[in-house]
């Protein structure tokens, strides 16, 4: 089974545009679970321009599925994750000034740093995933850090999908097979949507989890969040669970 984890950052972006608590991100997360999502993802950045650290603390006791916190393991992030103790932490090498995540880890250059961070989170019982480009050598080095999973950065796949989906998926299939052969769990995320998700899952059937936010929340503006989640689950060959 491939789990759908809904990234609710964009819901917080809408709230923050006007202040107050509308929409309520905690209620939204609970509703996503009620409509069939098997996980909730948040990406609290140091500038807290969407999900705030306080949101993360309020979400933890409410979420009944899997809670995935992603971000760059700067000291404040490590402290937050260590306090909240989510199901999974996804390490993403984004800097303060990026609009959205735009690259995976260089697991060779940052090997010792990643190994230490993985060990620190493992000591707290937290599953660790490393955000990574679909490069076999980087995945092989990720394995050496002790991480449980890797999350394939799928922007390149999404960008090339319309022109030639076979070419777009090729490097991802190779990378996924390498991860699978190393007994690494496999996640994916970034720019996956209702148009390209089914084919991705079809070609990589052992995918553990997809984390989708921007496209899913955008679709919900037209379809409503309940129907949107059902359609994404259908792309993953999963039926809604209530």
Q: Any idea which residues carry the catalytic annotation?
A: 43, 70, 190
Strand 185-189 with 209-212, pairing? parallel
Closest to 130 in 3D by CA, of 88, 171, 172, 74: 88
Burial class (CB in 10 A: 0-12, 13-18, 19+), 161: buried
Write down how long the chain is: 242
Q: What angle do CA 47, 92, 216 make, to 5 degrees?
A: 80
Angle separating helix axes 214-223 and 225-235, nearest 10 degrees: 130
Q: What angle do CA 139, 140, 141 make, to 5 degrees?
A: 90
Tokens of 144: 């050496």
Closest to 129 in 3D by CA, of 155, 151, 97, 109: 151
């Amino acid at each position: 089974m491939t789990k759908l984890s809904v990234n609710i950052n964009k819901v917080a972006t809408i709230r923050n545009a006007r202040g107050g608590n509308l929409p309520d991100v905690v209620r939204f997360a609970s509703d996503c679970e009620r409509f069939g999502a098997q996980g909730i993802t948040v990406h609290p950045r140091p500038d807290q321009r969407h999900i705030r650290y306080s949101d993360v603390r309020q979400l933890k006791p409410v979420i009944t599925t899997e809670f995935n916190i992603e971000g760059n393991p700067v000291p404040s992030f490590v402290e937050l994750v260590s306090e909240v103790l989510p199901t999974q932490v996804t390490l993403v090498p984004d800097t303060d000034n990026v609009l959205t995540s735009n690259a995976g880890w260089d697991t060779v250059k940052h090997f010792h740093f990643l190994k230490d961070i993985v060990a620190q989170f493992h000591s707290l019982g937290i599953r660790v995933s490393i955000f990574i480009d679909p490069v076999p050598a980087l995945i092989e080095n990720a394995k050496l850090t002790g991480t449980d999973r890797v999350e394939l950065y799928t922007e390149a796949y999404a960008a090339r999908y319309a022109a030639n989906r076979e070419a777009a998926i090729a490097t991802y299939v190779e990378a996924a097979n390498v991860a699978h052969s190393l007994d690494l769990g496999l996640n994916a995320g970034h720019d996956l949507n209702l148009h390209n998700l089914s084919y991705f899952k079809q070609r990589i059937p052992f995918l553990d989890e997809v984390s989708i936010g921007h496209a899913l929340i955008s679709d919900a503006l037209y379809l409503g969040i309940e129907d949107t989640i059902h359609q994404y689950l259908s792309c993953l060959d999963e039926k809604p669970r209530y």
